[in-house]
Structure 1
Amino acid sequence: MDAIEALTAIPLQPLPGRWHVPRQAALLEEARAAESRGNNAYWEWAARRLRWQRPWDRLHDGDFGKTRYYVGGQLNVADNCVDRHAEDPARADRHAIIWEGEPGDIRRLTYRELRDEVCRCANALKSLGVRRGDVVAIHLPNLPEAFVAIHACNRIGAIHTVLFSGFAPDAIRLRLQASRAVVVITADGSYRRGRTVPLLGNLREARKDAPQLRHTVVVNRTGAAPSLQPNESGWEALLKSMPADCPCEKIEANEPAFLIFTSGTESKPKGVVHSTAGFLVGTWANVQWQVGPEPDDVYWCAADVGWLTFPIQAVTGGLSHGLTLFCYEGALDYPQQTRLLDSAKRHGVTKILVAPTGLRMLRAAGDDAVKAHAPHGLRLVTTQGEPLDPDTAEWTQRIFDVPVVNAYGQTETGSTWTYPVYGVGALKPGSCGTPVPGHACAVVDDAGKPVPAGTRGNLVLTAPFPTLARTIWDDEERYRTAYFTRFSHRYATSDEAVIDADGQIWVLGRTDDVINVAAHRISTMEIESAAASQAGVAEVAVVGVHDALRGTVPVAFVTLRPGADPAVVRAGMAAAVEREIGGIARLGRVYVSAALPKTRAGKIMRRLLREAAETGIVRGDTAGLEDPAAVQAVLAAVKNV
């Protein structure tokens, strides 16, 4: 049995009664009934859960590449995510945000307080000359001010773009130039692994080459009271001078709400544009099916505000439900490996979203430590961002006694769209479930023809939906060619997948993560799943490197659990890969490293691993790197083999 057969042969597990959520099941039945009348009927059902200032004229027109939803309808995202709840006596004084800084400081904002802060910030932006359609850059870490700034932009119809706070000056400069931002909101610094990241210093260096930028607003995060330069204002003083009342602009459903820049092989950042109503409606639905909000929930999306997962699950999707959201500033494993669990327990978190890497990081701490620190009242662990191996999924489910909802989506899709619905769907550890209401997909060969169940192929979406990105900023042609030309009338995800006999989707990774070894195509996920099953392995990443004989060979980078013997682990991993996949997938090298380079969202930066393995140095872009020391650990591992 090869690796794909082994994955797809995992039995579908009916949801145990203790995990069943009757209210969620009833709502899903209602949604499926609407969907049975057509996708548009479902998206109308979802949209009516929100507050509109003007009803739409047409629910949908156009196809992929030119799609529009709720045409002529008007609403405001801040009104739906903040004001709706602040005006409700039952929810106004509920905590919207519970925040913890890495040093341990804590702040809380109710929905009423959040509305006042959003209004003050919106008035502040208007006082700086920001008008509807202008771009405001938000260069902040996970702070309450990030929520405030985003919804202040939503309130007045400004387009926001969140710049990852870990970016170096060059990466910031490129995005400021590409977006043509007129105002930027930043902080003097942030805390990460006990260090202070110089956000304001990096921003000042970057803005020298962004002449369209008129003003900088600075949040005093560290308490150091930085000396302000011309065209800079302090956040606290500026907002204090503003009234706590600002009417919401009526925004047409298809106007752009924000830009999010993705990295790629091209030097120019790609600014993906998401629409106002489509993103709001889609993320409301996303959180409903993936998280199943309950009145007493405290939900933690353990991602960085600079990655789209956070706006989907927290800033927009989470707040649209009136959830209490926990937000954390620092590294999830600092100063101890169980920091994620300790913070969750401290604040009564009931549901957690974390990348698979975060789960493997916890597992490395040891079962006894994890059980000792596990939060009481935890109901759900959900994950996305990279493939989840079945072994880690089963471990998480067993240790915490909660369902593990593994979801899949992309920056361009604007939400995750395939997963087992929380509280309802059957589970198959490691799979991405089946498409949730309003979405349809297929797995096709390179000619665009559907492949049989159990056969790998190209994952495509076969019908448009509201959260799908509407264009690429300043590059409409790039948008069309990147996503809609390879497979006619379908959206190409550029991911490889398998649909098994139970209809479950297994996303294997990017098509460019497929290794061609002596003309055989092997997914890195297949190899990683085999390697990760070995005793002593904490986490593993596989990349393909050049080989004179076979063209490409797989090499593995691995971190170990406490007490594991590196020689034994190397031998066990090599044997497992050959046993489960075959000699064609034989590992060229196994590098044992103290750490792996990751983004703050928890994704392993495999391109840096590939460069290290092939050249022994790393010169590539490390702008999104969470911990620079991880690169040195990898280079040391390569040198010592």
Structure 2
Amino acid sequence: MDKLMLEHPLIPPTDALRATAPVNAQEAQRLLALDPAEYWLDLARELTWTTPPATALDGTLGEFQYYPGATGNVSVNCLDRHPPERTALRYEREDGQRETWTYGELTDATARFAAALQDLGVAKGDRVAIYLGNVPEAFIAIHACYRIGAIYSVIFAGFSASAVRDRLEDARPKAVVCTDATLRRGKTIALKATLDEAMVGLDIPHVVVARRVDPAFRLQAGEHDFHELLTATTRRADPVDLEANEPGFIIYTSGTTSKPKGLVHAGLGFLAGAYANVKWSLNLQADDVYWCTADVGWLTFPIFALVGGLAHGATHVIYEGGIDTPSPARPYDVIERYGVNKVFTAPTALRMLRRAGDAPLGGHDLSRLSLISLVGEPLDPETWHWTQGKLGAGRIFLNNTYGQTETGTAWASSMVGLTPTRPGSCGHPLPGYRARVVRDDGQQASPGELGALTLTEPFPCLARTVWGDHERYVQTYLSDFPGAYAASDAALIDADGLLWVTGRLDDVMNVAGHRIGTMEMEAALITHPAVSEAAVVAMPDDLKGSVPVAFVVPRGDAQPGPALEAELADAIVQGVGAIARPARVIVTSTVPRTRSGKIMRRLLRDLLISGEVSGDLTSLENPDAIDLVRARIADGRNGKPQGI
């Protein structure tokens, strides 16, 4: 990693972002050094409370409370406190449908839908499942839950019936809110039909359906039409005062086990973390036009749009569908049409745009764009430079961040307009967080030394438990390094204090006594003109302990075969060193990925070692990739060409 870092000097904030930063550089350094509990108590003063917090922290990791005794309501902070005439949402759908919502309209609809839920018998502590895409109804339904103290659980609109059922069985909601269908890359995805299949035999009292796609859609007996229910409800529910540590929502995260974990986040604790995260990672202003491209089913969207974003009162662009449909120019169309000046997206999206080339950029006025922030997986430096230089014409700041569903924020980031970044890094721990990279024995690693990433102190937005199974929470996150939260990710902190997350700990390999992370090998591959995407995993080796194996998705004009494989192996050696030479380079037309676009490296590792996959597959978007990759692996073992 040293070579990769030394090649890229620190990138300072742009003058435009520095001019609008919420504090000066000296104050930023003071906040970074401040005791976390003192910082979070100070931050809480920027929010609206019924009973303001008098104390920051009570307890320690595993059993803690933040702002004990303080009360308030999330929806008040995100909706009621903003000028009603200000534009809140600019909604656009893949087929061109558009809507505009002011904060006043959104607040009114939320309060009335909250009353409608109450009339259906939904009360504080009851669960409500939200099975929606990126539509205005998602904002209304979720903030209606916040308003009355119901615990919501978002289910990703791309999940299978089996995955939906797992989550319904665990949360046992009193109501489900869904749409009849959603659009995705020119196809109609029938959400209600999937929900019907998932609900067979389950006792869920109420189903509320927003009809948005199919004019001929008909409700079943006993179901409720979202908009008819809203129209018929004139009463506005008053916001319920909730204690800061009471649960706000459950969000399920997949892992290596078959049962997804229902992580529980405190409502107001999550608000504090998300508000602070948006403040520093986006420096979101009330007059900004801002687009978070994530799906509502992934925690990125609640952090950076639904809660953290709305709490800052900006205008939000929300897009339903594939952002590259009908062409890769669609994102540039959206940015130009609404005058977007800040974007939050994933490295996968930027790699997709880069792969499409520079031609779609032509003719688009993106001059207002000043910032692109990212989260989701390591960003290769090559894509960083293309985005900053080509897409951003050299004037934007590119802020790669890091966080997890469990942490409730992208807690590592630049403080936009205040602190620098380095291409490929994830910024630095933000105020209020204490990170430590440790060796296997728990001792702190030296600067530049790869180890296990941990967080040593609680913070308000850290998940408090696993729904119905606190022991699983303790064993999963708090048992590896006593006294610290274990992220299960491999990382290092460089001499400038910047964090580099190289992948899951399973992706760090020990090759003949040398610890090597996959990120730098993948970065070396991505720079090759024949490579579109790359993933490197470890394969056990009797002599060396483990050896790297590279999976490569080629660009359209690449010529797969032994010559290309040898060339790509040399690219890793040139970029990282001879110790990193891969045992194999497997060229394949696709790789298994999640519905948010991440490559599922653990499945590649499973296929490589055993030929079979295990664990939770509910987030797998392209099951056909399993057989294709398995065949490519077998072709190589049989001495056949490994090309497509």
Q: Which TM-score bucket, shorter chain as reference?
A: over 0.9
Q: Cα–Cα, structure 1 residues 511 and 538, in superposed 2: closer, same or farther, change >3 Å?
A: same
**Is 1:228 the counterpart of 2:219 in the alignment?**
yes
Taking the aligned partners of 1:255 and 1:28, their CA distance within structure 2 comes to: 35
Matched AA of 1:576: A
**Is 1:129 the counterpart of 2:121 in the alignment?**
yes
Q: Please tell me whether the aligned partners of residues 166 and 625 of structure 1 are also in contact (alpha carbons under 8 angstroms).
A: no
Taking the aligned partners of 2:85 and 2:130, their CA distance within structure 1 comes to: 27
TM-score calculated relative to the size of structure 2:
0.92
Q: What does the per-residue CA deviation read over 1:520-570, in whole Å, with 9 as the maximum and x for residues that have no partner?
A: 543221221111121232221223346677665433333334534435653
Instruction: Report the CA distance between 1:326 and its aligned residue.
Output: 0.8
Q: Please tell me whether the aligned partners of residues 366 and 561 of structure 1 are also in contact (alpha carbons under 8 angstroms).
A: no
TM-score calculated relative to the size of structure 1:
0.93
Q: Please tell me whether the aligned partners of residues 282 and 416 of structure 2 are also in contact (alpha carbons under 8 angstroms).
A: yes
Q: Cα–Cα, structure 1 residues 221 and 570, in superposed 2: closer, same or farther, change >3 Å?
A: farther
* Mapping 1:438-457, distance limit 5 Å: 438-457=432-451
Among 316, 333, 337, the residue aligned to 1:346: 337
2:195 aligns with: 203
Identity within the alignment, %: 46
Q: Indicate the larger mover: 610-619 or 197-206.
A: 610-619
Q: Please tell me whether the aligned partners of residues 535 and 569 of structure 1 are also in contact (alpha carbons under 8 angstroms).
A: no
Matched AA of 1:202: T
Among 301, 309, 313, the residue aligned to 1:318: 309
Among 107, 110, 122, the residue aligned to 1:118: 110
Taking the aligned partners of 1:446 and 1:611, their CA distance within structure 2 comes to: 24
Taking the aligned partners of 1:344 and 1:306, their CA distance within structure 2 comes to: 23
2:3 aligns with: 6
**Is 1:82 the counterpart of 2:79 in the alignment?**
yes
**Is 1:430 the counterpart of 2:424 in the alignment?**
yes
**Is 1:181 the counterpart of 2:198 in the alignment?**
no
Give the secondary-structure state (helix, strand or coil) at the position aligned to 1:67: strand
Instruction: Report the CA distance between 1:596 and its aligned residue.
Output: 3.9
Matched AA of 2:75: A
**Is 1:556 the counterpart of 2:543 in the alignment?**
no
2:638 aligns with: none
**Is 1:61 the counterpart of 2:53 in the alignment?**
no
Q: Please tell me whether the aligned partners of residues 181 and 214 of structure 2 are also in contact (alpha carbons under 8 angstroms).
A: no
Q: Please tell me whether the aligned partners of residues 34 and 45 of structure 1 are also in contact (alpha carbons under 8 angstroms).
A: no
Instruction: Report the CA distance between 1:518 and its aligned residue.
Output: 5.5
Matched AA of 2:124: R
Taking the aligned partners of 1:526 and 1:33, their CA distance within structure 2 comes to: 33
Taking the aligned partners of 2:320 and 2:34, their CA distance within structure 1 comes to: 44
Taking the aligned partners of 1:270 and 1:620, their CA distance within structure 2 comes to: 12
Taking the aligned partners of 1:259 and 1:17, their CA distance within structure 2 comes to: 38
Matched AA of 1:493: A
1:70 aligns with: 67
Taking the aligned partners of 2:212 and 2:547, their CA distance within structure 1 comes to: 47
Instruction: Report the CA distance between 1:223 and its aligned residue.
Output: 2.8
**Is 1:358 the counterpart of 2:352 in the alignment?**
no
Matched AA of 2:133: P
Give the secondary-structure state (helix, strand or coil) at the position aligned to 1:119: helix
Among 570, 573, 577, the residue aligned to 1:578: 573
Q: Cα–Cα, structure 1 residues 229 and 480, in superposed 2: closer, same or farther, change >3 Å?
A: same
Q: Cα–Cα, structure 1 residues 547 and 102, in superposed 2: closer, same or farther, change >3 Å?
A: farther
Instruction: Report the CA distance between 1:393 and its aligned residue.
Output: 1.3
Give the secondary-structure state (helix, strand or coil) at the position aligned to 1:268: coil
Q: Please tell me whether the aligned partners of residues 379 and 403 of structure 1 are also in contact (alpha carbons under 8 angstroms).
A: yes
Q: Please tell me whether the aligned partners of residues 362 and 370 of structure 1 are also in contact (alpha carbons under 8 angstroms).
A: no
Q: Please tell me whether the aligned partners of residues 41 and 55 of structure 2 are also in contact (alpha carbons under 8 angstroms).
A: no
Taking the aligned partners of 2:376 and 2:101, their CA distance within structure 1 comes to: 28
Q: Please tell me whether the aligned partners of residues 314 and 325 of structure 1 are also in contact (alpha carbons under 8 angstroms).
A: yes
Taking the aligned partners of 1:628 and 1:341, their CA distance within structure 2 comes to: 30
Number of matched pairs: 632
Taking the aligned partners of 1:11 and 1:392, their CA distance within structure 2 comes to: 13
Among 95, 99, 119, the residue aligned to 1:103: 95
Taking the aligned partners of 1:632 and 1:191, their CA distance within structure 2 comes to: 27
Give the secondary-structure state (helix, strand or coil) at the position aligned to 1:487: coil
Instruction: Report the CA distance between 1:186 and its aligned residue.
Output: 1.0
2:130 aligns with: 138
* Mapping 1:369-408, distance limit 5 Å: 369-370=360-361, 372-373=363-364, 375-399=366-390, 400=392, 401=394, 402-408=396-402
**Is 1:599 the counterpart of 2:591 in the alignment?**
no
Give the secondary-structure state (helix, strand or coil) at the position aligned to 1:62: strand
Q: What does the per-residue CA deviation read over 1:133-154, in whole Å, with 9 as the maximum and x for residues that have no partner?
A: 0000001111111111100000
Q: Cα–Cα, structure 1 residues 563 and 244, in superposed 2: closer, same or farther, change >3 Å?
A: farther
Instruction: Report the CA distance between 1:376 and its aligned residue.
Output: 3.0
Give the secondary-structure state (helix, strand or coil) at the position aligned to 1:566: coil
Give the secondary-structure state (helix, strand or coil) at the position aligned to 2:81: helix
Among 534, 545, 570, the residue aligned to 1:540: 534
RMSD: 2.4
Q: What does the per-residue CA deviation read over 1:486-517, in whole Å, with 9 as the maximum and x for residues that have no partner?
A: 22221111111111111111111110222355
Structure 1, unmatched stretches of 5+, are: none
**Is 1:267 the counterpart of 2:262 in the alignment?**
no
Taking the aligned partners of 1:37 and 1:333, their CA distance within structure 2 comes to: 43
Q: Please tell me whether the aligned partners of residues 338 and 365 of structure 1 are also in contact (alpha carbons under 8 angstroms).
A: no
Taking the aligned partners of 1:637 and 1:236, their CA distance within structure 2 comes to: 50
Q: Please tell me whether the aligned partners of residues 534 and 569 of structure 1 are also in contact (alpha carbons under 8 angstroms).
A: no
Taking the aligned partners of 1:586 and 1:17, their CA distance within structure 2 comes to: 39
2:270 aligns with: 279
2:162 aligns with: 170
Q: What does the per-residue CA deviation read over 1:447-495, in whole Å, with 9 as the maximum and x for residues that have no partner?
A: 1111211111111112211111111111111212222222222111111
2:45 aligns with: 48
Instruction: Report the CA distance between 1:17 and its aligned residue.
Output: 4.8
Structure 2, unmatched stretches of 5+, are: 636-640
Q: Cα–Cα, structure 1 residues 28 and 158, in superposed 2: closer, same or farther, change >3 Å?
A: farther
Q: What does the per-residue CA deviation read over 1:114-169, in whole Å, with 9 as the maximum and x for residues that have no partner?
A: 01111121112112111100000001111111111100000000000001111111
**Is 1:460 the counterpart of 2:457 in the alignment?**
no
Taking the aligned partners of 1:219 and 1:420, their CA distance within structure 2 comes to: 39
Give the secondary-structure state (helix, strand or coil) at the position aligned to 1:315: helix
Instruction: Report the CA distance between 1:36 and its aligned residue.
Output: 5.0
Taking the aligned partners of 1:276 and 1:123, their CA distance within structure 2 comes to: 19
Q: Please tell me whether the aligned partners of residues 257 and 616 of structure 2 are also in contact (alpha carbons under 8 angstroms).
A: no
Q: What does the per-residue CA deviation read over 1:340-391, in whole Å, with 9 as the maximum and x for residues that have no partner?
A: 2222222221111111111111111113433554633111111111011122
Taking the aligned partners of 1:9 and 1:408, their CA distance within structure 2 comes to: 21
2:492 aligns with: 498
Give the secondary-structure state (helix, strand or coil) at the position aligned to 2:67: strand
